[in-house]
Amino acid sequence: MLSRRNALKAGVTTGMVGGAGLLVPYLPHAAADTSGTADAGTPGPTATGTVPPAVIPQFAVPLTVPPVLSPTSTSATTDYYTVTMQKAYTTIVPGTKTEVYTYNGSFPGPTIKARFQRRVVVKQINNLGTPVSVHLHGGNVPQDSDGSPMNLIAPGGARNYTYPNDQDNATLWIHDHAHHMESENVYRGLTSLYLLCDDLERSLPLPGGEYDVPLILRDGRFGANGQLIYELDDHLLRNTILVNGRPWPYFQVAARKYRFRILNGSNSRIFSLALSDGTSFVQIGSDGGLLEKPNATANLMLSPGERADVVIDFSRYPIGTRLVLTNPGMPGPPEIGQVLRFDVTRTAPDPSEVPDRLGELAAPQLATVNRSFVLRMDEDGRPNAAAYINDKTYDANRIDTQIAWGTTEVWTVSNANQYAPHNFHLHQVQFRVLERNGKAPDPSEGGLKDTVRLFPGEAVKLLITFDSYEGVYPYHCHLFDHGAMGMMGNMQIS
Ligand code: C2O
Ligand code: CU
Ligand code: CU
């Protein structure tokens, strides 16, 4: 049970229980004590507990879009990029400068645009003063470029990551993965989009150019001095929503269709997105690329690490309309119920269309191996709470799952917790969701996925084919705080 002490500590008050019987309180397990956790003593810019909370107005700043990174050189086969990880300062709390961790000084980092079967090599230089590992989330890449937790770049060091881009169009992303530090490193800003485009996507008349807009969503907790406050598993006190690094921005749109690439880049927050007028929008893609056909929906659930491409048609609104992207019914303080405001300010021509068919997914292979994975964490308020997969915490040197190359498997993944939500992410592969709680999944989960949410008591069946690179890759809960508490395992494909 959730103890009163911990409930108070985590600021659990009202608004905890959402609709549909799915949403339950996020449990404040480890908030109690992180002092004994290895590596947790790395000081952030702010000593926690002493700084009064920031007051940040909503819808007071315009949305900005991260810059697109230009290659430093190109060859017949390859685009070469150089990225420097460094601290930078940005304004989030009015009148202050927030210290953030960045790729190339940008918060979030610059977007890399890649093309199918054209190689990308990124030289990452670590000027942060803390070890890092750079992971391409959703990317099918060789082990030595995967950016796994133990494959670190020391402070002052650099390394090249090679991405073959031998997979379908997809909205991928880059983030830190340094073992035990990824949670804080990503929280402080190490996040970038990586858009992989192919001929199929290019042939479709979807909204493009300035009408194809990334929305990187996350939460955070700020002190009045402007600094980000990081405490392990502190999700209920993270009361500020950032979109592309700006607090609750407004976005002036034309009365036409836009494509939005939405990434949930939060450590722990699950978003349940809706428009304030209750109307539907059209989901066209998920983690691993475009869906087979568009999915009209009024609500979109995204757990940390998941992506969705959606099209919103603002032509149905008169000029002057203000429409809010909301996050109703989710646990946390009331401010987190708002995300972004769209202000319809002008007309514009719109030659774009959402075709009835967006793509074709490969026929599922027949599975010959079944496995099960039980996700669980201590949620009884004990100090130094840990998190487990099949009752084990992560050991970087242990192989948990041995996979024969070429095999197709069904993985049944379940959440054995009473309060804590989880999700499940595998490196290297895109999978299909066969079932959620014994039923066919919702169309939003019908495409290629690399991360799947699991509320307490839920179970999913995943169909996964391991027929690309051999090697050792991790799988884990993508609520980064849980990964840092041990909810991670290794698979060896050979
Ligand atoms: Cu988003 Cu192990 O990664
Ligand atoms: Cu990943
Ligand atoms: Cu989890």
Ligand 1 proximity of 482 Cβ (cutoff 6 Å): no
Q: Is the pLDDT of residue 280 over 50?
A: yes
399 strand-pairing partners: none
Ligand of minimum distance to the alpha carbon of 270: 3
Distance between CA atoms of 87 and 105, rounded to whole angstroms?
Answer: 7
pLDDT digits (tens, 9 = 90+) for 306-330: 999 999 999 999 999 999 999 999 9
* Confidence at residue 144, expressed as pLDDT on a 0 to 100 scale: 97
CB 482 within 8 A of CB 377: yes
Report the separation in Å between the CA atom of 184 and the middle of ligand 3, taken as the mean of its atom positions: 16
Domain ranges for the chain: 53-200, 209-346, 369-493
Report the separation in Å between the CA atom of 102 and the middle of ligand 3, taken as the mean of its atom positions: 25
Distance between CA atoms of 303 and 298, rounded to whole angstroms?
Answer: 17
Q: Is the pLDDT of residue 352 over 80?
A: yes
pLDDT digits (tens, 9 = 90+) for 70-80: 999 999 999 99
* Confidence at residue 305, expressed as pLDDT on a 0 to 100 scale: 98
Residue 346, token pair as written in the block: 């002008």
Model confidence band, residue 68 (pLDDT cutoffs 50, 70, 90): very high
- Mean pLDDT over residues 274-301, rounded? 98
Distance between CA atoms of 367 and 467, rounded to whole angstroms?
Answer: 13
Ligand 1 proximity of 307 Cβ (cutoff 6 Å): no
Model confidence band, residue 123 (pLDDT cutoffs 50, 70, 90): very high
Model confidence band, residue 26 (pLDDT cutoffs 50, 70, 90): very low
Which atom from ligand 1 is nearest to the alpha carbon of 305? 1
Any idea of the CA torsion for 215, 295, 201, 407, to the nearest 10 degrees? 100
Report the separation in Å between the CA atom of 361 and the middle of ligand 2, taken as the mean of its atom positions: 21
Q: Is the pLDDT of residue 36 over 60?
A: no
CB 340 within 8 A of CB 324: yes
Which atom from ligand 1 is nearest to the alpha carbon of 149? 2
* Confidence at residue 51, expressed as pLDDT on a 0 to 100 scale: 79
Q: For the sheet containing 488-493, what is the strand order? A: 401-403, 488-493, 471-476, 422-426, 451-454
Taking CA atoms only, the protein residue closest to ligand 1 atom 2 is 427
- Mean pLDDT over residues 395-424, rounded? 97
Asked whether the whole model's pTM tops 0.85, one would answer yes
| Long-range interactions of 402-407: CB distance < 8 A, separation 24+ | 402/491, 402/492, 402/494, 403/369, 403/466, 403/491, 403/492, 403/493, 403/494, 404/369, 404/466, 404/494, 405/466, 405/467, 405/470, 405/493, 405/494, 406/466, 406/467, 407/368, 407/369, 407/465, 407/466
What architecture (CATH level 2) is domain 209-346? Answer: Sandwich (2.60)
> Which is more confident, 150 or 250?
250
Find all residues with CB under 8 Å of 479, minimum gap 6, and list them. 267, 268, 303, 304, 421, 422, 423
Strands 322-326 vs 307-313: parallel, antiparallel or unpaired: unpaired
- Mean pLDDT over residues 410-417, rounded? 98
Report the separation in Å between the CA atom of 136 and the middle of ligand 2, taken as the mean of its atom positions: 6
Q: Is the pLDDT of residue 38 over 80?
A: no
135 strand-pairing partners: 175
Ligand of minimum distance to the alpha carbon of 476: 1
Ligand 1 proximity of 235 Cβ (cutoff 6 Å): no
Buried b (16+ CB within 10 A) or exposed e, 275-305: beeeeebbbbbbbbbbbeebbebebbbbbbb
Ligand of minimum distance to the alpha carbon of 138: 2
Q: Is the pLDDT of residue 15 over 50?
A: no
CATH topology of domain 369-493: Immunoglobulin-like (2.60.40)
Ligand 1 proximity of 427 Cβ (cutoff 6 Å): yes
Which residue type does 118 have? Answer: R
Distance between CA atoms of 486 and 494, rounded to whole angstroms?
Answer: 25
Which atom from ligand 1 is nearest to the alpha carbon of 177? 2
Mean pLDDT over each residue of the chain, to the nearest integer: 91
Report the separation in Å between the CA atom of 21 and the middle of ligand 2, taken as the mean of its atom positions: 29
Taking CA atoms only, the protein residue closest to ligand 1 atom 3 is 137
Taking CA atoms only, the protein residue closest to ligand 1 atom 1 is 137
Ligand 1 proximity of 425 Cβ (cutoff 6 Å): yes
Ligand of minimum distance to the alpha carbon of 423: 3
- Mean pLDDT over residues 358-384, rounded? 94
- Mean pLDDT over residues 185-197, rounded? 98
- Mean pLDDT over residues 393-404, rounded? 97
Ligand 1 proximity of 476 Cβ (cutoff 6 Å): yes
| Choice among 42-46, 238-242, 476-480 with the minimum mean pLDDT | 42-46
Ligand 1 proximity of 177 Cβ (cutoff 6 Å): yes
What architecture (CATH level 2) is domain 53-200? Answer: Sandwich (2.60)
Ligand 1 proximity of 474 Cβ (cutoff 6 Å): yes
Q: Is the pLDDT of residue 156 over 60?
A: yes
Ligand of minimum distance to the alpha carbon of 376: 3
Model confidence band, residue 20 (pLDDT cutoffs 50, 70, 90): very low
State CA 214 to chain mean position distance.
Answer: 13
Fold agreement (209-346, 369-493): yes
Model confidence band, residue 236 (pLDDT cutoffs 50, 70, 90): confident
Other C-beta atoms within 10 Å of 67: how many? 12
Which atom from ligand 1 is nearest to the alpha carbon of 483? 2
Ligand 1 proximity of 175 Cβ (cutoff 6 Å): yes
Q: Is the pLDDT of residue 49 over 70?
A: no
